Amino acid sequence: MTIEHTAARTDSGPPAIGERLRGNLGIPAVVFMVLAAAAPLGVIGGPVPLGIATGNGTGFPATFVIATVVLLLFAIGFTAMTPFVREAGAFFSYVQQGFGVAPAIGTAFVAVVTYAAMEAAVYGLLGPQLGGLLSLVGVPQLPWWVWAFAGLAVITYLGYRSIELSSRVLGILLLAEIAIVVVLDAVVIGRGGDHGLSAGLVNSSQITSGAPGIGMLFAIVSFLGFEATAIFRDEARDPERTIPYATYIALAVIGIFYTVSSWALISAWGDREAVTRATNSGSTMLVDTAQRYLGAVGADVIQVLFVTSLFACILSFHNVVSRYLFALSQRGFVPAAFGQPHTRHGSPHVASLGLSVVILAVVGVAALAGLDPSIEFYTWLSGITTVGVLALMVLTSAAVLNFFARDRRHYSTWRVRVAPALGLVGLLVFLGLIVTNLRDLVGGSAVLASAVIAVLVVSFVVGSVLGVHRARASRSDIHLATPAGEES
């Protein structure tokens, strides 16, 4: 990886000299990054049993199809706008093009809080799971936070190094976790399930049974992370081709994988027994299924890969937040040091280290407060992410519509107006479902649900106010919005 030194000429002054991240990520590498954030094995072992138990039962796999369609509609407009977004920054760069600097910086602050919360939250799962796994081979039992800090040390090292190293690690872990689930799916389907293969995927009465709204909620939550493709623009090879293709491939892979795997999980036990197991022993349903169809070795492999899936998820979110901080630094909204890439690795190493310090503090406070790592720490923080990501996608979708409202830029009406509008409607429905059920998502506390909304609103307002202040001070939105190294 190298660093590019360039000058940005503006109307308000001389060229601004700066540095940008550079890399050689191809389509597979970017896909691995975002798939790892989605944590596919973790989803099959977590949200899927919850969706079956509390949502629409055996019709739950169909909710993944619906979610995939809505997100593809979102992606159609999102990728159409990619050639006109010349800098990394993911959602906030798109919002900037659609609505201007102030809401863009508000969006960026929400994104940082949203993804950092998710990174911290998953440590609440990694710590206990890693400790439990190591205890099986004779390692002494230690508090969950010890193992969380051990994981943080490895994440910090990888975040400091080049993005190619992270992509290789994520690629290996991701392929392993997908492979074991595909093998399990194939065995279940090959044997015809327990009492034949479930018809819930295509049976309208089963799809609409129970609480399909709750089922849809767990389905959409399972896709979190796919939208981060654009943050790697500066490090992608041929970004105008890589980012759109990676977005579509990631969505298709996630959607097909979740649909087939959840259907196979139900088929493995039969419709009635699957709902019973998901309700009574959902946390072990995937491992129990592997034990039944793949034997003890398969179950052990699933347990190991579940831990590595959590690790990969954390690493992916760490990379995303580091690059958000890097982009914000180059625009002057966080300390300037965060915008300096490593001279050798080309990574946002200072931003990565700063993020690790914050995560260390957050996990440390949770440990000192005696919070349950899964029931309290993970649940509370993941609530921020769930609402935050949907809100970010709604803002971005609206920005896409507004951007192309003035000029279709040679695209068809379907691609830049109809599809994004339909996607926006679907995303608003999803956001409404999540906000309506937020109290249950964060453990039944109305106070916590209100706190989640407040954190996100305050983040957006603070960012927007800073954006307005800097825009006025600079007298030029173009000068403010253009990071060092980008032609205006």
Is residue 48 over pLDDT 60? yes
DSSP E strands in 425-474: the ranges are none
Beta bridge partners of 190: none
Global pTM? 0.84
pLDDT computed for residue 485 by the predictor:
43
Average pLDDT of span 405-414:
91
Which of 234, 229, 236 lies closest to 25 in space, CA to CA? Answer: 236
Q: DSSP 3-state assignment of 9? A: strand
pLDDT-derived band at 281 (thresholds 50, 70, 90) equals: confident
Which of 375, 382, 360 lies closest to 443 in space, CA to CA? Answer: 375
Percent of the chain residues topping a pLDDT of 70: 90
Length of the chain: 488
pLDDT computed for residue 6 by the predictor:
39
CA neighbours within 13 Å on the CB side: how many for 338? 22
Side chain identity at residue 354, one-letter code:
G
Cα 56–57–60 angle (5° rounding)?
Answer: 65
Q: DSSP 3-state assignment of 14? A: strand
Decide if 68 contacts 260 (C-beta within 8 A).
no
Residue 197 neighbours by CB under 8 Å, 6+ apart? 189, 263, 267
Domains in the chain, please, with CATH? 22-475 (1.20.1740.10)
19 φ, ψ to 5°? Answer: -130, 145
* Average model confidence (pLDDT) across the chain: 86
